[in-house]
Amino acid sequence: MSVPLLEVDDLVVEFHTADGVVRAVNGLSWSVNAGETLAIVGESGSGKSVSVQAVMGLLQMPPARIVRGQIRFEGQDLLSMGRRQHRAMCGERIAMVFQDALAALNPVYSVGYQLAEALVVRKGLSRRDARRRAIELLELVKVPNPSQRVKDYPHQFSGGMRQRVMIAMALALEPDVLIADEPTTALDVTVQAQIMRLLAEIQAERQMALILITHDLGVVANVADHITVMYAGRAVEQAGVYDIFAAPAHPYTKALLRSIPRVDMKGRELEVIAGRPPVLTDIPPGCAFHPRCQYAQDVCRTEWPELRDLGGGRKSACHFAESVLDGTVESPADGDGGPGVTESRGMRGAGV
Amino acid sequence: MTDPTTAANIAAESHGGPVARSLWAEAFRTLSRRPSVIIAAVVVAFFVVVAAFPTLFTRTDPQRCDIRQSKIRPQWFDGPHPFGTDLHGCDLLAQLVHGARPSLLLAAIVVGSSVLIGLVLGSLAGYYLGVIDAVVSRAVEVFLVIPLLLAALLVLSIFRNVDFGDGQLAVLAPPAIVLTMFAWMGYTRYVRASVLETKNLDYVVAARVLGASDLRIIFRHILPNAIAPVTALIPTAVAGIIAAEATLAFLGIGVRPPAISWGIMISNSTDWFTGGYPHLLLFPLACLIATILALVVLGDALRDALDPKLR
Amino acid sequence: MGSYVARRVLQGIFTLFLVFFLLHVLTTLAIQVNGNPALAFFGEKVPTQSQLLEVKKRYNLDDPCFEQLGNPCLRPFVERLNAYLHGDFGTNLRGDQAVTEMVATAAPNTLRLFTVVTITWLIVGMLLGSLAARFRGRLPDHSIRSLSILIDAFPVFVMLLVYKYIVAVPVERWMDDRFGDEAFPTLMFKPSFDPDHPWATVVVPGFLLGVTGSAAFIRLVRASQLENYHADYVRTARAKGLGDARVTVFHIIRNSSIPVVTAIGFVFADALAGAVITEGLMNIYGMGGLLWRAVRESEVSVVAGMVSLLAVVVLVVNVLVDLAYAALDPRIRYD
For residue C76, whether the previous peptide bond is cis, meaning omega lies within 30 degrees of 0, is no
Residues in A lying within 8 Å of C, measured between beta carbons: 56-58, 60, 84, 87-92, 95-96, 98, 100, 103-108, 110, 117-118, 121-122, 153, 155-156, 166, 169-170, 172-173
Measured over the CA atoms of residue A319, residue A322, residue A323 and residue A327, the dihedral's sign is: positive
Which chain A positions have a beta carbon within 8 Å of C330's beta carbon? 107-108, 110, 153, 155
Domains of chain C by range and CATH? Answer: 2-85 (no CATH), 99-297 (1.10.3720.10)
Q: What are phi and psi of C226, to 5 degrees?
A: -60, -40
What does the alpha-carbon distance between residue A71 and residue A52 come to, in Å, rounded to a whole number? 10
pLDDT digits (tens, 9 = 90+) for B199-251: 877 788 888 888 778 888 888 878 877 787 788 889 989 998 998 888 888 87
| Binary contact (A89, C238; C-beta < 8 A) | no
Average pLDDT score, chain A: 79
What does the alpha-carbon distance between residue B46 and residue B49 come to, in Å, rounded to a whole number? 5
Q: From the candidates C1, C134, C233, C331, which should be mutated to test the interface with A, based on the most A CB atoms within 10 A?
A: C233
| Confidence grade of residue A57 (pLDDT, cut at 50, 70, 90) | confident
How much is the pLDDT for B71? 67
What does the alpha-carbon distance between residue B36 and residue C145 come to, in Å, rounded to a whole number? 13
pLDDT digits (tens, 9 = 90+) for B34-87: 888 889 999 999 999 888 888 777 777 777 777 676 666 676 666 666 677 777
> Do residues A160 and A194 lie in contact, with contact meaning Cβ atoms separated by under 8 Å?
yes
Interface of B with C in 186-245 (CB under 8 A): 236, 239, 243-244
Give A191→chain C minimum CA distance, Å. 22
pLDDT digits (tens, 9 = 90+) for A88-144: 888 788 888 888 878 888 888 888 888 888 888 887 888 888 888 888 888 888 888
How much is the pLDDT for B108? 92
For residues C288 and B305, the model is more confident at C288
| ipTM score of complex | 0.82
Average pLDDT score, chain B: 78
For residue B258, whether the previous peptide bond is cis, meaning omega lies within 30 degrees of 0, is yes
What does the alpha-carbon distance between residue B126 and residue B111 come to, in Å, rounded to a whole number? 21
Q: C-alpha angle B34/C131/C207, rounded to 5°?
A: 95
What does the alpha-carbon distance between residue C224 and residue C222 come to, in Å, rounded to a whole number? 6
Q: What order of strands is seen across the sheet that includes strand A37-41?
A: A94-97, A177-181, A209-214, A37-41, A226-231, A234-240, A314-316, A308-311
Nearest alpha-carbon partner for B63 in B238, B231, B211, B260: B260
How much is the pLDDT for A93? 86
Write the DSSP symbol of residue A86.
H
Distances (CA, A) of B48 to B101, B103, B105: 8, 10, 9
> Do residues B138 and C15 lie in contact, with contact meaning Cβ atoms separated by under 8 Å?
yes
Digit-by-digit pLDDT tens for chain C (335 residues) are 678 888 888 988 999 999 989 888 888 887 777 666 666 666 667 777 777 777 777 666 777 777 777 777 888 888 888 888 888 887 777 777 888 888 888 888 899 999 999 899 888 888 899 899 888 888 999 999 889 988 888 888 888 888 888 888 888 888 888 887 777 777 778 777 888 888 888 888 899 999 988 888 898 888 888 888 888 888 888 888 888 888 888 888 888 888 888 788 778 888 888 888 888 888 888 888 888 888 877 777 788 888 888 888 888 988 888 888 888 888 776 55
Rounding to the nearest 10 degrees, give the CA dihedral for residues A132, A136, A138, A140. -170
Rg value, chain A, Cα: 21
C144: contact with B, CB 8 A cutoff: no
The one-letter amino acid code at B248 reads L
Cβ atoms within 10 Å, residue A267: 5
C138: contact with A, CB 8 A cutoff: no
How much is the pLDDT for B295? 92
How much is the pLDDT for B290? 92
| Binary contact (A155, C239; C-beta < 8 A) | no
What does the alpha-carbon distance between residue C333 and residue C327 come to, in Å, rounded to a whole number? 7
| Confidence grade of residue B165 (pLDDT, cut at 50, 70, 90) | low
Question: In this model, does residue B5 exceed pLDDT 60?
Answer: no
Strands A20-32 and A6-17: antiparallel
> Do residues A213 and A40 lie in contact, with contact meaning Cβ atoms separated by under 8 Å?
yes
Which chain B positions have a beta carbon within 8 Å of C35's beta carbon? 161
- Write the CB contacts of A112 (distance below 8 Å, at least 6 apart in sequence): A131, A134, A135, A150, A151
| Helix runs in B201-277, H state only | 202-209, 214-216, 223-251, 262-273
State chain C's maximal CA–CA distance in angstroms: 86
What does the alpha-carbon distance between residue B55 and residue A319 come to, in Å, rounded to a whole number? 82
pLDDT digits (tens, 9 = 90+) for A285-335: 777 777 787 777 777 777 788 887 777 778 888 777 777 777 666 554 444
What does the alpha-carbon distance between residue C45 and residue C59 come to, in Å, rounded to a whole number? 19
Write the DSSP symbol of residue A310.
E
How much is the pLDDT for B17? 37
Rounded mean pLDDT of B138-165? Answer: 79
Strands A6-17 and A270-273: unpaired
Question: In this model, does residue B114 exceed pLDDT 90?
Answer: yes
- Long-range interactions of C242-248: CB distance < 8 A, separation 24+: C242/A87, C242/A91, C242/A117, C242/A118, C242/A121, C242/A122, C243/A84, C243/A87, C243/A121, C246/A121
Which chain C positions have a beta carbon within 8 Å of A92's beta carbon? 241
Cβ atoms within 10 Å, residue C136: 15
